[in-house]
Chains A and B, each alone.
Chain A
Amino acid sequence: MKDICKSFVGVPVLKGVDLEVESGEVHALLGENGAGKSTLMNILTGVHRCNEGKVVFNGEDITNCSISKSESAGIAFVHQELNLFNDLRVYENIFFNKELTNKLGTLKKHEMIGKCNEVFEKLGVDIDPTVSVDSLSASDKQTIEIAKAIFFEAHLLILDEPTTALSNEEIDHLFQMIEDLKKEGRSFVFISHKMPEIFRIADRYTILRNGEMIESGFISDTTPQQVTAKMVGSSLANSFDYEKRPLGDTVLKIDNLSSKAFDDVSLDVKKGEIVAFTGLQGSGASEVLQCIFGEIPPSEGCIYVKGLKAGKNSIHNSMKHGVGFLPSNRKENSVLPDMSIIENMYVSEHSLSSNKFHIFPQQEKTRYDVMKQNLGIKANDEKDLVVSLSGGNQQKIFFARWLNTDADILLFDNPTQGIDVGAKAEIYKLILHLASKGKTIIFNSLEIPEVMRLADRCVVFYSGRIAAILNHDDITEHKVMMYATNAVLNNGEKYNDV
């Protein structure tokens, strides 16, 4: 791939990126969230079209070809979320839309099953091709995706964070498989955030940052520290609006909290404090927030809100204790698309005060106007549908939804997801303002600059456990990435200032 440029609605996402993968090599594609890795791969596989540049595969120009063209050229994309039909059998999935048939169109089932067995044997896995996919483990599903690619003569396999759902043993097996296939001359583009894995499996690497290619080279010539530093870049802590605030007593105490997605999390949060959770996708940070809010039941451990042990684990109970939670994925988890702005703002308050049956529109309007002014919500009429607002203003409405319940412990999961830079800055200001008013805030964010601007403390998660708790002055992109990717432990060095 040469000089790839891509912009979405005028916003440049890729600026002249080169990527070169040789046959029989594993090439690690590195970068933070939003660096442009997925877009680049989508251009390669024909999902998106590039504005400039050239894609050449095995000597053939396949720039801006269709998905099926790139597939037949021998490029296979193994997605992060696996694209399998859970209700179909294994062999049906592998041969989906490419079934072997005789002249009458009848399926040659035995032949297909036989071929599956051959490939599985070659890959050294034990999967029965006739069982339905939903009975398989995550790693088996991954294997099926890879088997699918091998079947159709893929020479280049793109693995997008293939290890997130796998156990260590399964990762070993996957890597063994990759090694074997490499020897056959197949190439891999390996997208991952986890440094230990990259240094174990990859031959070469390319680093992207903000849509630009930063560096490319041999893994053997570099170290995890150097790679992390280059991924993050030289951007410094931009904390001009952060001020140290006096903190109150402990209002939230989490004691050895465990569940499926996280393990043994303990934390004290003081009144008026802003705590940031961060970690890679699937690190468990979001789940801890959901657990505090009562959405996920803990398997072990206790939550104490304002010194009282939280009783029944339910959302309503948490709300009564003054906890509010703004979930991630606004569209799925927050927006009531058929309802007006004011109804969207009041829905939580209503569920708290539902014993007072009647709605007094005038009172609600007065309170809405105050909220609108305080949060700087730009809206014409409170009776317009909430979906008529921009993403940033919608998010402010959902902030208002929780402020309206008088919650003083606010949990925000990825609060700046999908909103533009200007609105982000306003949200930051809002969070700092709320904290100065004595609200306690825990937010989860994957964007480290955000964490640096807001957090008094930053809790870094790595695969369900707290990897480090950093104080405001210690938070740097570099350090956070080190802990979040587990690069620290693997190299035997630790930061002493934790």
Chain B
Amino acid sequence: MMSDLSTKKKNVFSISQYSFILIFIALFIVYFLFSTSLTWTGVTNILRHSAVIGVISLGMGLVIVTGDIDLSVGAMLSFVSSFACIVFNLTDSIFLVLCFCLLSGTLLGLINGVMIGKFRLPAFIVTLGTQMIMRSIAQYTCNRLPVVVKGVGGNTFKMIRLDNGSFDKLFRFGNGKFLSFPNCGLIFILIAILFVYITTSTKYGKKLFAIGSNSRAAHMSGINVEMTRISVFSIVGLLVGVGAFMLLAMQGNVDPATTGKNFEMYAIATVVLGNISMSGGKGRFIGIIFGTLSYTVIDKIIAVLKVDSLINDAIKGGILLLAIVIQAASPLIKNYMSSKKQTSKK
């Protein structure tokens, strides 16, 4: 299933299954044409700006492959990065911030997972609830803490810059480059490669597809559906933690009201754009990489055109619909092509 390209006959038809690459290339060409002076930095910046939403989309991909959904990722990003900011301001330790991001993310994911996997509550409702709770708590806390802890007045958190250079180190890491690629973009690509590996070549990955395909049959085949669901939501939490850490490293401040706003929707959209079936059990994770990059390129195009950025979502929504129409139409086209082939043979 993962390597349909192996036979020549299938090669012709599987282009439609890789529609996300075509969409990305088309968007990239548009970007290239409109931006008068596109530099290498401009290109690699696409990766940088895809990093946070990208890792979150990978997590969303896992959840959707098992047939569930996680609406809490955006709020979780806001929650984890807000409190990580407090941790930094209190301890001035990058290490502790990293630990806090990863652990609290995993824990929050675990809570979602236990409610969904163990107690069989519907994922849509559970994560809708935790979404509202987490963002609200982050905002509430923000309004109530003294400036010493928040780092800045008003409704945002800011990492305090002390002389010992911790903040500078973190900031340099977040905005630094390795072999001309932005660090955060590289982290995203590494994690994406890891997830492509997990979903194509490991027993754990196959389990996820099995559950999404037919959870009853998966259960009867000996898969521990409960534990796997819990693990999936925990992994999403962990990835959100990674995203929160990268977010802090890149910008050093958090607005709990707007950070990660609608990220769950963007993540779902990129997953769909990447040709992963919303009903679960089907799809390739490589699609998520291209889905995310496509959405970042749209942002870039709008920035280049100097259009009001409020039109952004209309374009993203349009692309999403276009992608799904292509996906839905491709089997029809395939049938048409093969029937034509048969008649011509006769």
Contact = CB atoms under 8 A, between A and B. Distances in A.
Contacts of B203: 350-351, 353-354, 356-359
B120 interface: no
B6 interface: yes
Given A339-B1, A351-B224, A357 B204 contact: yes
Given A315-B222, A327-B220, A350 B213 contact: no
B214 A335 contact: yes
B221 A347 contact: yes
A333 B216 contact: yes
B282 to A, nearest CB: 5
Contacts of B221: 334, 347-348, 351, 401
B185 interface: no
B211 to A, nearest CB: 9
Nearest to A341: B1
Interface string B190-211: 0000000000011110110110
A316 interface: yes
Interface in B252-310: 277, 280-282
Contacts of A347: 206-207, 210, 218, 221-223
B342 interface: no
A383 B9 CA distance: 14
Interface string B207-243: 1011011101111111110000000000000000000
Nearest to B205: A359
A382 B209 CA distance: 17
A333 B206 contact: no
B135 to A, nearest CB: 34
A351 B223 CA distance: 6
A425 B27 CA distance: 58
Interface residues of B, number: 29
A290 B219 CA distance: 12
A348 B222 contact: yes
B3 interface: yes
Interface in A338-384: 338-340, 343, 346-348, 350-354, 356-359, 361, 381, 383
B14 to A, nearest CB: 12
B4 interface: yes
Contact of B209 (A316, A332, A338, A401): A338
B217 A343 contact: no
A337 interface: yes
A237 B291 CA distance: 63
Nearest to A294: B222
Contacts of B280: 338
A295 B221 CA distance: 11
Given A336-B213, A338-B281, A343 B222 contact: no
A210 to B, nearest CB: 32
A334 B3 CA distance: 24
B1 A343 contact: yes
B209 to A, nearest CB: 6
A134 to B, nearest CB: 18
A340 B202 contact: no
Given A315-B222, A350-B206, A337 B1 contact: no
Given A356-B203, A357-B204, 14 more contacts: A316-B222, A316-B224, A327-B220, A334-B221, A336-B218, A338-B281, A343-B1, A348-B222, A350-B203, A351-B203, A351-B223, A383-B1, A383-B3, A383-B4
Closest 3 pairs (CB-CB, A-B): A338-B281, A350-B203, A338-B213
22 contacts: A315-B219, A315-B220, A316-B224, A319-B222, A334-B221, A335-B214, A335-B217, A336-B210, A336-B218, A337-B281, A338-B212, A338-B213, A339-B281, A340-B1, A343-B206, A347-B222, A351-B221, A354-B203, A354-B204, A354-B207, A358-B202, A405-B222
